[in-house]
Amino acid sequence: MLFNSYEFILFFLPLTFILYFLMQHFNSPKIARAWLVSASLFFYSWWNIKYLPLILISIFVNYGIGSILSSKNIRANKLVILVIGISFNLSLLGYYKYADFFIVNFNNVFASSISLLGIILPLGISFFTFTQIAYLVDAYQGKAKEYSMINYMLFVTFFPHLLAGPILHHKEMMPQFADPDRYKLDFNSIAPGLFLFFIGLGKKVFIADNFAIWANQGFDQMVNLSVAEAWITSLSYSFQLYFDFSAYTDMAIGAALLFNIVLPINFYSPYKSQSIQEFWRCWHMTLGRFFRDYLYIAWGGNRQGELRTCCNLLATFLLVGLWHGAGWTFVFWGLLHGMALVIHRLWSKLGIKLNRFLGWFITFNFVNIAWVFFRAKNWQDAHKVLSGMFGVNGWAWSGQLQSSAYFTQKLGIFGISDTLSQNIQLILAISMGLIICLFCKNSIEYWQEFRPNIQTALVTMSLAIAGILSLTKVTQFLYFNF
């Protein structure tokens, strides 16, 4: 089930919300939590019920291992148990996400012909796997302990974060679920929750999905791209991914707030960043936290000399790339970001500070160019877009990047040709995307400044009506693929 669907907005979310607080009202917090777990599992099963046993097995095994790790009465070697638990999680992830990738590469290297398994990637497996690995490590270190199976299931399956994050820590969630003050309806949470949710819906249906049209045309349909077409293609994808992921995080935080639960911030204006380090502090923040805490620091971080630090950065970001997808283009994208962070670190050692605009310009264009490898289905698609961006195919405009027929028709009233009309729309869309990213407040800032009044109520209602009426074509969030 998708956040941007009639089923979720008009049926699932209101029904889950009403029954949850009715149960809390009649002093049944345990039953209410059990209901929220059941609703979350239904939410997950809506996509494909055959993967319900997968997430349940993952939960039961990790709960059992976590209980052993957090127990003071167990004399077994807990490090061995932790390794077994992490291996179990990585084995599930490896089979469902990377098995065919490994088979393809094995066939290429050894000229074999092993048949592919054709496994469909279960939604959310990367997120609920990493959430539970973090729990096992925290339990091993004495930072987390869970006595209740229902509480643990709620921690893992709580539907706002289940499919695309954020990646949670047990210690930041369970105190909230156990807090009696959060069992009652709180309009100070409901109002900003609805506000954030419908801001996210607006971003998805009005901005991200429209940029997707041009990105898909350029990457998937056109054979050659001129300079202008290639830059519009790459920037369209950069803005599509930005607003798509931003929309999901807004809707996830907003939906959780309805239940008086505050999810960690996962996205904070990354395209305003003036360095690649700042970018990674603002983009997919909980994923960066996971890799920093459980890999980079565990490998020594920056405590063992400059060479080791650079190697740790490169190795960490190679795995960040691989986490995002089973393909060498993802690995190369991770390598590019690792190299950029190494260069930034070495440059910072020189004590030379770049002009703020120049720092932003370099960072934004690097991120945009690197996204080409992230989006491309293969090396040929990446080469097609990059060669166009750097002028290999010339400047001629083919007119194959199609924009809105409605606005083309309206501009035609003023004697503007279809081709010129499309060019104007594309330039305006790219410009507006950049302006919003750079000069507008982000959703978190609006949330922090939120005041329930007539103005915010009208804005929320307008966004809700416009967003719901625009759900003529439901599209999946991009991070569901990772």
| C-alpha–C-alpha distance, residues 219 and 221, integer Å | 6
Active site residues: 324
- Asked if residues 81 and 65 have their Cβ atoms less than 8 Å apart, the reply is yes
| C-alpha–C-alpha distance, residues 317 and 339, integer Å | 9
What is the number of other CB atoms lying within 10 angstroms of the CB of residue 100? 17
452 preceded by cis ω (within 30°)? Answer: no
- Asked if residues 385 and 223 have their Cβ atoms less than 8 Å apart, the reply is no
CA atoms within 13 A on the CB side of 353: 3
Q: 374 is written with which tokens?
A: 């992230």
- Asked if residues 219 and 233 have their Cβ atoms less than 8 Å apart, the reply is yes
Those residues whose C-beta lies under 8 Å from the C-beta of residue 381, and which sit 6 or more positions away, are 219, 220, 375
What is the number of other CB atoms lying within 10 angstroms of the CB of residue 349? 9
DSSP state of 105: H
If 0-12 CB within 10 Å is exposed, 13-18 middle and 19+ buried, where does residue 218 land?
Answer: buried
C-alpha distances in Å from residue 162, one per residue of 87, 92, 104, 149? 21, 17, 30, 17
- Asked if residues 233 and 385 have their Cβ atoms less than 8 Å apart, the reply is yes
